[in-house]
Each structure stands twice: as structure tokens, then as C-alpha cells.
Structure 1
Amino acid sequence: MRKNSIKNTRVSTEVQHELSNILRAGIKDPRVAPFTSVVAAEVAPDLKTCKAYISVLGDEKAQADTLKGLQSAEGYIRRELARTLNLRNTPEIRFILDQSIEYGVNMSKMIDEVNGER
């Protein structure tokens, strides 16, 4: 199976959607920030591993605490993912902090400052 096959793209999208639902409704860990979103999910072609890119609204401490909370709840999240998705193998999830939204906001502020000086 090719890396960017239609099946792999569909599975990645479905995993991203279900992870978003699990994070929104199921995680009770106080370390996980309430404004945590799943930006993207990349499932390996063999469906054994998954990289979940998350975005956290808050400071660096909130981001680090959210990552620790998600890593400690990985078993629960994987079990819920297996319950909702009908896959032969439930992928192991690795959470990666995605700071592209924060980077974009900072760049937008800088552009506005430069335009305001003119």
C-alpha cells in the first residue's frame, strides 16, 4: 500500500475525527487544557502507529502539561479509539505538539506592526 493511498488518507481522517471527539468529551485529566485540538493525524501504512499533531491554546506550561496528560492517558485514548473504529489493528498514538497556529498568529501580529508604522 502506498503512503498516500486513498485508504490511508481516509483512515487518517477518521482517526483525527475520533481523537478530537475523545479529547473533547472523554479526557478528565486536569493537566489537559480545555482548548486542545487535533490538527492532523498521520497513520502509518501498516496501521500500527499514528502521529497525532495537537494544538494547545495557552502558555508553554499548559502545552507541556497537556502533552504529559495525553501521554499518561494514551491507553484510555487507544481503547476508546478501538471501540469506535473498526480496524484490524488499533494504532499506537504518539502526540506531537503543533505550533503552526501560534507561529501564524505571531507572524500576523508582526505584519500588522510593520504596516502600522507606515
Structure 2
Amino acid sequence: MAREFHRADRVADAMRRELSQLIQREVRDPRLGMVNINDVEVSRDLASAKVFVTLVGEDDPAKIKTSMDVLNKAAGFLRSQLARAIQIRTIPRLQFRYDETSVRGQELSALIDKAVQSDRSHHDDEAGDNDGDDKE
């Protein structure tokens, strides 16, 4: 059976595509760097939307907060621009949120790599000890 797409899902997808272009072209605040829109969650009643973003190359919490403030202050402007681009009766209220999943994923990947490297070096040490025992 095919997956059923709800209207909120279709609206979220259209908003994600349109917002990525609008932020790049229309938001001209120098405090805002490169923004990736990871996901948009629209409520079932289409009244509000949470826009999850990451900031490319930004690790400083103060700059992240500043960028999020810029996006949230531009939410009304972006909503009006969305109304022109997407043909629906009402455009959901936008709430921008910083998405830490990619940062957390990179941290976990680094921990896994470190554990694998440690395991390899531990295994190599044991193999080296066994070689010496066989010669005696």
C-alpha cells in the first residue's frame, strides 16, 4: 500500500524548498551566514510551522544565537514572501529552531572512530605479544 501524504506534509515540503531560496536571496543581514534548512514540521491545522536549520561552518554558540534571532525576526517577512510563492489560503506562522542533530551526529561519529582506532591498536598490541611468546 502506498504511503498516504497528508496536506501538512505537502505544505511542509513546499515551504522547505521555497524558504531555502528566500533566505539565500532575500535576507540580507550580514550577521547571517549560510543556512541549511533540514526540516519543516507543519501542524495539522496549518497554523504554525517549525523550521529546523543548521548554520554552515558555525560552532560559536553566541553567533548561532544571533543567527537564530535574525531568522526569527525575519519570520514575518519570510511568511509574506511565502504567501506570494505558495498558493494556499493561509501561510503557517514560522518558528526557526537550531537543529543540533548533524552536530551531534558528527560528535558520535568521531567517538566511534576513536573507539575503533583504540580497539585496533589494542588488538595489534595483543598480536605483537603473542608473536613473542611463540618464539621462546
Q: TM-score, normalised by structure 1?
A: 0.89
Given that residues 51 and 93 in structure 1 are in contact (C-alpha distance below 8 angstroms), is that contact kept between their aligned partners in structure 2? Answer: yes
Runs of 4+ in 1 over 2 A off after TM superposition: none
SS of the aligned residue for 1:14 comes to: helix
Deviation (angstroms), 1:5: 4.7
Q: CA RMSD of the aligned region, Å?
A: 1.4
Counterpart of 1:16 in structure 2 is 16
Determine which structure has more spread, i.e. the larger CA radius of gyration.
2
Which has the larger share of helix?
Answer: 2
RCO greater where, 1 or 2, for CA within 8 Å and sep 6 or more? 1
1:102 aligns with 2:103: yes
Unpaired segments ≥5 residues, structure 2:
120-136
Which has the larger displacement, 94-103 or 55-64? 55-64
Counterpart of 2:82 in structure 1 is 81
What number of residue pairs does the alignment pair up? 114
Identity of aligned residues (%): 25
Instruction: Give the counterpart letter for 1:19 in structure 2.
Output: L
Unpaired segments ≥5 residues, structure 1:
none
Q: TM-score, normalised by structure 2?
A: 0.78
Deviation (angstroms), 1:61: 2.1
Deviation (angstroms), 1:96: 1.0
